[in-house]
Amino acid sequence: MQTLSAVMSQLVGSLIDLNHPGRYVHWGFIQLSVANLIVIGAMVVVFVAAILIPFRRHGGNDQ
Amino acid sequence: MSIDTGPPAEAVIESPVADPIETPDEAAADRPEDAGQWSARLRHSAVGALPPERLMPDRQPAYVASWIYVFGVLTLSALAVVILTGIALSVMGPQWWHVSSTGLFVNSLHLWSVEVFFFTMIIHLWGKFFMAAWRGKRRATWITGVVSFVVSVGAAFTGYLSQQNFDAQWISTQAKDGINSTGAGAIFNVTNFGQMLMWHIVLLPLVVVALVGLHVLLVRLRGVVPPFAPPDQTDVVGPDPGPLSADPSSGHSTTPSVAANGERP
């Protein structure tokens, strides 16, 4: 478990360097961390995908 | 409720059959004289409003066959993981979740299931907002969802305060001025670790689970909100119980139905 954890942290750490203070964006009085902005963007993408992607159906007699 | 020795057991069993003409209230009780009791009336109204086939239906209206309708149950699934991992953390204690690799893993599961919970709940909220899901006497469903969301934010907040690390200290010292400015700081002290832990593991989970349970019951009672009708059709927003069984002759609804696994008849 510890070996796997070490490998995973090395792997993820090499992709995304989190060893620094958080980065923030500012729009007037709005201050938002980049991490939160990414999550919000992902939610918007998933929301749009949930509307557009057809739902898998059996039988095929759509009504 | 009354307690008496009553007639022999066989007489009690035969009592409803012996009276061929029963009012609905009388049918609620084993014996007609018990029909006025609050327990009989409550049971009768509860079973009438939410019969088992509506609580756990086999089929849903056809419009439910869309990914946007999946996010409610995804939120419920994430909440189940939150509760289960929280129970494990409570049983094993801080030494376990801070030191052992298994404890750290369950602690991480608890955090990430909360992230999934809010992620899916927000998409569920967006979907229902743009469907105007309060239509068709579904106001209470919408309101219980909104209140569940707000209470969940509080539950997550007290969770971050219970981490026992510098992050928790930073959040509490940042939050105390805001809480104090509302006057709530007199009874809700975010720098009081014991109080925040109790709110996080006892009070707020009870409220969240109760509200979510009520929310789900209301969904079953009022039905799942249909999407808006096309411009050339009349919008049907009334409570639609949906087809409640696989039997198309049951007459519950004329809405095209789809099985729980997405299969159509």
What is the rounded distance in angstroms from the CA atom of residue B27 to the CA atom of residue B16? 7
Task: Show the tokens assigned to A29.
Answer: 């009085």
Q: Nearest by CB to B264, which of A42, A50, A57?
A: A57
A18 touches chain B (CB under 8 A): no
CB B32 within 8 A of CB B26: yes
The structure tokens 């419920």 sit at B76
Task: Show the tokens assigned to B208.
Answer: 């969240």
Residue-wise pLDDT for A6-31, tens only, equals: 887 777 777 777 778 888 999 999 99
Crossing angle of helices B101-130 and A34-52, in 10° steps, is 60
B126 touches chain A (CB under 8 A): yes
**Cα B95 from chain centroid?**
33
Q: Nearest by CB to A47, which of B102, B126, B256?
A: B126
For the question of an ipTM over 0.85, the answer is no
Residue-wise pLDDT for B4-45, tens only, equals: 444 444 444 444 444 445 555 555 677 888 888 999 999 988
CB A61 within 8 A of CB B65: no
Tally Cβ neighbours within 10 Å of residue B34: 17
Compare all CA atoms of chain B with the CA of A41 and give the residue at the minimum distance. Answer: B119
Compare all CA atoms of chain B with the CA of A57 and give the residue at the minimum distance. Answer: B262
A4 touches chain B (CB under 8 A): no
Q: What is the pLDDT of residue B238?
A: 58
Q: What angle do CA B74, B79, B80 make, to 5 degrees?
A: 100
Q: What is the pLDDT of residue B204?
A: 97
Q: What is the pLDDT of residue A59?
A: 55
Structure confidence at residue B253 as a pLDDT band (50, 70, 90) = very low
Structure confidence at residue B246 as a pLDDT band (50, 70, 90) = very low
Size of interface A-B (CB pairs under 8 A): 54
